[in-house]
A and B are shown apart, each in its own frame.
Chain A
Amino acid sequence: MNKLKIPIMGFTEEQETFRNEVRQFIKSEKETFESQVDSWLSGYSPEFSQKLGKKGWIGMTWPKQYGGKERSSLERYIVIEELLAAGAPIAAHWFADRQTGPLFLKFGTDEQKEFFLPKIAEGTCYFSIGLSEPNAGSDLAAISTKAERTENGWVLNGMKIWTSGAHLSDYMIVLCRTSPKKPDRKHEGLSQLVVDLSSPGVTIRPIKYLTGEEHFNEVFFESVIIPEENIVGQEGNGWKQSMAELAYERSGPERILSTFPLLEELIGTLRENKDVQGMGESMKLLSQLYSLRHMSIGIAQLLEEGADVNTTAALVKDMGTKFEKNVAEVARLIIASHPSMTSDVRFEKLLAQSILHGPGFTLRGGTTEILRGIVTKGVVAE
């Protein structure tokens, strides 16, 4: 079961000091934002993103020549954890920092790196990820959006759906067909294109979420002209590139801490009320959080070492998102209340956000069922 081995990591003295620095910054900003559940998806604040950019906390692991700070991925882990735990508004730059930047670093041209990375690191350039389509959800091989090569560049036609934050982004990385689908090789012929969302022919229609808020969108491409050089990586290699991105996004703290602000509020309230019984009931959540966090940190370390974490990352995503949901279920039973998005009571509001955001946790980044298939394949293959 070697694929399932996760190292136990501790943070160094310097890293602890750094954590404190991040924590102090967030505390000093506390008045400028309202802590919320799932803030990496719904907490949109370009001002806050720019402040983080100034601090050097976006793209912080990237090379200095592209605006990065060449810090370790465990330091990045600390920043992300602190921000999520505080429910800080980080949605604006989230996908650019987590996925697009690393994608360019790995597969991008020098021009792409020089043009995009510094802006992303400043917290001024936002991306969304165009994977899903109406007929291609978990089954991305069914993608039918296509780009044809012409003299003027690529001509893109098709539609993406469930794209988080597209209405607030500058660009989208679109996975599309650049050559016809072959029945026996359905993952071939897909490529990734950078699409400027202000281009003529792009229509973005926000979809209202369960909360009534707008997080994701339908995006239509009607003969959108995209410059030849906007292809990322190799033509036809889009599937593999996208899958590599997914492994990175599955085991991060955002798969464990989306509802942490509610848990914090729950425990805080129980402490204040000296409710020993309620506290006891909530402790199973805490022990789960401890184990998930140490798994996630261990995987971050393995990623840094370049190890294959496909199986364990899927495993953390599956368990972590279940945990995120469970926080809401346990909280509502311990403290009876009337959850409401518009309540003045913090607990009720965070609870409402947690319940209504809940179904999304186990869908985005791979459904529970798909992930479990990946885990089993990995475990059985040994």
Chain B
Amino acid sequence: MSDMQEIILDSTNKMFKSLCSKELIDQLEEGIFAEELWSVLVESGITSVGVPESLGGTGGDYNDALHILQLYGRFSVPLPLSETLMVQWLLADHRVPASREIFTLSVNLKNKIEIEETTKGYSIRGKAVHVPWARHAKSLLVLVNFEGASKVALLPLEQAGVEYNSNLAGEPSDTVNFESIDVENIFLEDVEEEKFRMKVTNLGGLIKTAMMSGAMEALLELSVLYSKEREQFGRPLHRLQAIQQHIAVLSGETVASVTIANKAIQAFGKGMVDHEIAAAKLKLSESAGKVTEIAHQLHGAIGVTHEHRLNQVTRRLWAWRDEFGNENYWADQLAEKVMSSNKESLWEMITDRPVTKVPLGEGIK
């Protein structure tokens, strides 16, 4: 890790720690958006890390951004940061300048959105489901059907109808309805649909991996702290052998998850991604089930109350493990890679350096 990165992460860590209270996270579920914290993030430049300075972004690389998202996961930050970053990165490939707005995106196969050209511009009709943070976002990046062809579009959300829904963690996951909405001008670009879907899934999978690894660190910290504070049978929990077994397994799963997440982040940062994202999201999604079970078992009844901080972390892990591909999805992806590899043996696949592939930066196409 570079010195520069260490400074950025250190200050982000401090910022999240001081501003992201349990109450603030609770408020999200009561429908209150953390305006103030969002402004701080925008002012600090965090919402456009990875967008080149030449486009008005903060600069820095994906590595910086992904480690920031790790911290985001660790503190359960209740804001649409990953969605905004993702959209900005995808748009930056098209030389679209950075913005201070909130963005969201959805590549759900159930989305059906039609765009027609009109005399005054365009007309949007259709529906997008499971759109994260739609109620707060200004625009939605989505695949649309335009004159019989697939395109990627950035659609304004002001006039769209939004039905509220939320994921297991209480994060907004809304349905967006466009009922023949007219707009003068929109971002509309050609796209190879499958390739684009894969690209967004890969990027989303990596981002969730980073966020989940941070959440697991928080889970371990909470559990260890509780095992030191709480006494049973006349001594702190961590002195009981049965509890020690739990803490050790929890530590193991966490370290394994953080390590493979860091490996994927590093590979992505170098543009050398082959199987890393698939292996990492698979591992993290699998571990999420294990660590949440242990953490709740260890905390006893207090952990399952809405009052306790624990559930803010465990519910996020349960939500995120299914977003951008669950473990079976990524196992299939990995299986396909192994199946089609030109390497002689599994060992060669595991140890050989991945071929250089630039995962972003080749445009939305």
Contacts and interface: CB of A to CB of B under 8 A. Distances in A.
Interface string B320-339: 00000001101110111011
A291 interface: yes
Nearest to A374: B248
B254 interface: yes
Interface residues of A, number: 49
Given A287-B279, A376-B238, A318 B252 contact: yes
A282 B279 CA distance: 12
Contacts of A271: 338-339
A276 B244 contact: no
A6 B259 contact: yes
A302 to B, nearest CB: 12
Given A276-B339, A294-B259, A372 B286 contact: no
Interface stretch (B114-122, B141-149, B220-228): B220-228
B351 A280 contact: no
A318 B248 contact: yes
B248 A375 contact: yes
A267 B257 contact: no
Contact of B256 (A267, A268, A288): A288
Interface in B130-175: none
Given A271-B339, A279-B339, A290 B283 contact: yes
Contact of A287 (B228, B243, B260, B351): B260
A371 interface: yes
A246 interface: no
A281 B283 CA distance: 13
Contact of B331 (A1, A19, A283): A283
Nearest to B261: A291
A299 to B, nearest CB: 10
B293 to A, nearest CB: 16
A218 interface: no
Given A287-B283, A287-B334, A8 B346 contact: no
A298 interface: yes
A280 B241 contact: no
A99 B272 CA distance: 37
A369 B48 CA distance: 47
A281 B328 CA distance: 8
Interface string A346-382: 0000000000000000000000010111011001101
A294 B350 contact: no
B345 A268 contact: yes
A286 interface: yes
A287 B241 contact: no
B279 A290 contact: yes
Contacts of A229: none
A188 interface: no
Contacts, number: 139
Nearest to A322: B252
Interface residues of B, number: 50
A267 B349 CA distance: 11
Instruction: Output the residue of B228, B255, B330 with the most chain A CB within 10 A.
Output: B255
B329 to A, nearest CB: 10
A283 B252 contact: no
B64 interface: no
B333 to A, nearest CB: 9
B353 A16 contact: yes
A291 B257 contact: yes
B351 A1 contact: no
A169 to B, nearest CB: 30
A21 interface: no
Nearest to B265: A8
A293 B350 contact: yes
B353 A372 contact: no
Contact of B263 (A267, A281, A290, A379): A290
A375 B250 CA distance: 10
B335 A283 contact: yes
B83 interface: no
Given A291-B260, A315-B255, A85 B248 contact: no
B230 to A, nearest CB: 13
Contacts of B220: 1, 379
Given A294-B259, A375-B251, A280 B279 contact: no
Contacts of B350: 286, 289-290, 293
A284 B339 contact: no
A283 B345 contact: no
A380 B347 CA distance: 37
A288 B217 contact: no
Instruction: Output the residue of A4, A287, A312, A369 with the most chain B CB within 10 A.
Output: A287
A284 B248 contact: no
Nearest to B283: A287
A264 interface: yes
A294 B279 CA distance: 12
Contacts of B282: 283-284, 287
11 contacts: A4-B251, A85-B347, A271-B338, A276-B332, A279-B339, A283-B335, A291-B259, A312-B255, A376-B238, A376-B247, A380-B247
Given A1-B220, A380-B228, 11 more contacts: A6-B259, A276-B335, A279-B338, A280-B335, A291-B256, A292-B256, A294-B263, A375-B251, A376-B238, A376-B243, A380-B247
Interface of A: 1, 4, 6, 8, 10-11, 16, 19, 81, 85-86, 260, 263-264, 267-268, 271, 274, 276, 279-284, 286-295, 298, 312, 315, 318-319, 369, 371-373, 375-376, 379-380, 382
Question: 5 closest pairs, A vs B, by CB?
Answer: A372-B248, A291-B260, A279-B335, A283-B331, A375-B248
